[in-house]
Amino acid sequence: MRKELGMFCALVAMCLIIGISNADFINAANLTNTTRQVAMLGIFAIGVGFVIISGGIDLSIGSMIGLTGVVIASISAPVADGVTSGAGYPIWVGICVAMGVALSIGLAQGLLITRLNLQPFIVTLGGMLLIKGISQTITAGGNISFGNHPFRALGDEGLNLGFMEIPWPVLIFLGVAAVATYVLHFSVFGRHLYAIGGNRDAALYSGVPVKRIECTTYVISAGLAGVAGITYAAYIGQMSHSVGEAYELYAITAAVLGGCSLRGGEGTILGIFIGAAIIRVMENGINMFKLVTTNAAGQEVIWRLNENWKNVIIGTVILAAVVLDQVSHVLKNRKRTATAQAKVVAAIPPVPPATG
């Protein structure tokens, strides 16, 4: 838990710095919106975490989020004039069809990777482009709006406790996180998953159903991307093929920041949540951070971060996380080697003294 503790301290420090610089950061509206964004990112970041822990990668989840929303909109959005109107079916029909599509695509990608021994990077990269093309075809390059459909309440409203309101996406994330925590940390499936990520060949020779478990992780990733797509569709209110672009990078970043090693075999649900929180707080902080100074004339001067720096900052954080992960592994390997050498030396019997 050292990585998780370190990243949590970094998150707290970031929140304190931003809150001190701008009091609006801690107002109710901003905190509610930030927690909603953290929750929606956390849902599909957990799915990617399962894949990364197994030693794989999934680049298609961003497009999967967009396709899920597009399918729901095309089936259940109100009928309107124009090419990109919805069909007006009940919302549960659209959600069921969209989730069926997401799970089917995840299963297809998992089978291609495990049964044909294709590289996950290539399969999911091709899946990303294919899925995005399907979304663009369905929307005809335009948007499908939900209008004032009651479905929008899923993204905009929440559970009212009187003194506070918990957004529905946050409650969905908590449910997903609870189930994922049990599966990953307290089930046989989770132990097998860590074994595969740690040493695939050793897991295979130990009788672990490697291919089945690896395939399942891609189904889980696609399914949670579908769940996230439902929340994004409700929150945004209109879907296009561009929704979900680069979301896979945010999810992978959240997982890596949270302690998931790209080599596999490491990672926790708590860490993924902390990583998702860092990403969204960082984005919010870039917009809200400010320094108030006074110039020589006694006038107040406000300095803010340039919004164009967002990708620069996030990219730097990704590289720093990967470098720290590599350094951590190098130090661990050196420690293991030194310990093994010390045991070997200790096991060598002493040479008896020569006698005359």
Q: What is the pLDDT of residues 264-311, one digit of tens each?
A: 888 899 999 999 999 999 888 888 887 777 777 767 777 777 777 777
* Alpha carbons 107 and 224: distance in angstroms, whole number: 13
pLDDT per residue as tens digits for the range 321-343? 777 777 776 777 788 788 888 88
By the 8 A CB rule, do 54 and 197 touch? yes
Please compute the mean of the pLDDT values over residues 165-183 and round it to a whole number.
94
pLDDT of residue 42: 95
pLDDT of residue 354: 64
Q: How sure is the predictor about 172, in pLDDT bands with cuts at 50, 70 and 90? A: very high
Sign of CA dihedral 290, 293, 299, 300: positive
Q: What is the mean pLDDT of residues 255-267?
A: 86
Mean pLDDT of the chain: 87
CB 321 within 8 A of CB 257: yes
Higher pLDDT, 238 or 52: 52
Residue 84 has pLDDT above 60, yes or no: no
Average pLDDT over residues 85-110: 92
Checking if the pLDDT of 82 tops 70, the result is no
Provide the whole-model pTM: 0.88
Domains belonging to the chain, first-starting first, are: 2-343 (1.10.3470)
Most confident of 41-45, 325-329, 346-350: 41-45
pLDDT band at 43 (very low <50, low <70, confident <90, very high): very high
- The one-letter amino acid at 259: G
Q: Which of 333, 283, 292, 290 is nearest to 312 (CA)?
A: 283
How sure is the predictor about 1, in pLDDT bands with cuts at 50, 70 and 90? low
Q: What is the pLDDT of residue 355?
A: 64
Q: Is the pLDDT of residue 171 over 60?
A: yes
Evaluate whether 123 touches 110 at the Cβ level (below 8 Å): no
Share of the chain above pLDDT 70, in %: 95
| Angle ∠(32,221,174) on CA atoms, nearest 5 | 35
- Name the region of 79 (left: φ>0; alpha: ψ -120 to 50; beta: rest): beta
> Cβ neighbours of residue 31 under 8 Å, at least 6 residues apart?
none
What does the pLDDT read at residue 81?
57
Contact between residue 73 and residue 144 where contact means Cβ atoms under 8 Å apart: yes
6 pLDDT band, cuts 50/70/90, is: confident
Residue-level pLDDT at 310:
76
Of 251, 266, 254, the C-alpha closest to 321 is: 254
Average pLDDT over residues 28-35: 89
